[in-house]
Amino acid sequence: MSPLLAWSSRYITQFASDIFAARAELERLEAHCAALIQSDQAFAYTERRNRQRRRLQNYFDQLRSEGRGVPIWGTAHNGTVLRHPETGDASPPVNSHLLHLHIGIDAQAEPRMHIRLTGGAPRQIRAALLELGVETGGMETPITILPETGKPWRPRFDIKTLAQEERMLQAAAYIFCAYLTGMRDCEVQAMQRGCLALTRSQDGMIMRHRVRSVAYKGKSSQGEPADWITIEPVAQAIEVLERLSFRAASARGLTTLWPVLIARSVSKDHLSAEIVRQLNRFRDHLNDLFGTPDMPAVPNGPGDQPWRITTRQFRRTIAWHIANRPFGTIAGMIQYKHASVATFEGYAGSSRSGFRAEVQNQRSLGSLRTC
């Protein structure tokens, strides 16, 4: 749990700014592309093509001046790879989507305008590949450097890896909210935009972060509004969620903090049970980016197999630590003592939430182990 929480913290406090910056860049590119397409509408096909090729050459000239390569996708998809014209080395294919954004093409609306088709600019692209080489991703957003490696935490973004990292950021925020509040999964996922408030403690001496959601007890499907007192890292996670969820939720007329971030006509609105798969994909993603086969970022479980994450583990684990290690630390940074005080001061510590009983149960189990 400690490394999982540590990497979640880095996503929220460090990587989130890169992800939001990349989303803002993509939106600017999409608006720029739409404006170029609109300006080209007055011209015949041949002139439109000439204008697109000139923009493409200007883009390659810019890449040359910056010492950068032709953008390729972060991963190969649909079985397609790029073979280097001279060496034959295989890599993910050219990121035509990004080229289209820069030069004013909507290949979905007009498939015949695709820049890689014979009537597009295949020779121009081939010449640039030979001269400039390639660059993964290709977007402009700078990537935060990891102090321990001196390297960016990931390659530059493209539209696919950006969407992936947004889902990973959502998973990281869920881990913070579920683990550091003692809330059940259904209570976490009942959180709505505007649920966070800063209030004073009962004695008026301390400012507390208060989360408003819906509490569920036992097998009842009928919840009731309730408040949880939590700690600043959870407040940071909720602020990230507010910003992350706004675009997808607003497009569907929702106020939930947990929408499905991929806007497709066939996708459901709420994350719900999909969170389990997303959490385990987050584990795999951390291992791919920051681990090695011999030392995964999130240590393996029994049988040296990847640790399978479930939503129940968070509530039970923090209850055990509060009961048995009240002065321990989470990821070397967040004190369990603070989480213990906060959760017991608010609703999570009341009898209705069941969290106090959960802690007492774990304390009893801990006592039995020491006998």
Range 108-115 contact pairs with CB under 8 angstroms and sequence separation of 24 or more: 113/48, 113/52, 115/52, 115/56
Instruction: Give the sign of the dihedral formed by CA 166, CA 102, CA 138, CA 120.
Output: positive
pLDDT given for residue 56 in this prediction = 98
Per residue of the chain (371 residues), give pLDDT as tens. Answer: 889 999 999 999 999 999 999 999 999 999 999 999 999 999 999 999 999 999 999 999 999 999 999 999 988 777 677 777 677 777 889 999 999 999 999 999 999 999 999 999 999 999 999 999 999 999 999 999 999 999 999 999 999 999 999 999 999 999 999 988 878 899 999 999 999 998 776 666 667 788 999 988 765 667 889 888 888 889 999 999 999 999 999 999 999 999 999 866 567 899 999 999 999 999 999 999 999 999 999 999 989 999 999 998 888 777 666 656 554 444 333 444 445 545 544 434 444 555 556 555 655 555 444 44
Distance spanning both ends of the chain, measured CA to CA? 26
DSSP 3-state assignment of 330? Answer: strand
> In angstroms, what CA-CA distances link 314 with 94, 138, 224, 299, 311?
42, 37, 22, 16, 6
DSSP 3-state assignment of 145? Answer: strand
Query: Which among 45, 21, 130, 35 has a CA at the least distance from the CA of 86?
Result: 130
Which stretch of DSSP H or E encloses residue 224? strand 224-230
Annotate 223-244 with b (16+ C-beta within 10 A) or e (fewer).
Answer: eeebbbbbbebbbbbbebbbeb
pLDDT given for residue 191 in this prediction = 96
pLDDT given for residue 331 in this prediction = 36
CB 316 within 8 A of CB 362: yes
Report the alpha-carbon distance of residue 207 to residue 56 in Å, rounded: 55
Give residues with Cβ within 8 angstroms of 217, minimum separation 6. 352, 353, 354
Report the alpha-carbon distance of residue 290 to residue 273 in Å, rounded: 27
CB 230 within 8 A of CB 342: yes
As beta bridge partners, residue 214 has 225
Query: Which among 180, 185, 196, 227 has a CA at the least distance from the CA of 340?
Result: 180
Pairing of strands 134-136, 70-72: parallel
Domains of the chain, first to last:
43-136 (no CATH), 159-365 (1.10.443)
> In angstroms, what CA-CA distances link 61 with 57, 64, 131?
6, 5, 11
Query: Which among 171, 180, 213 has a CA at the least distance from the CA of 319?
Result: 180
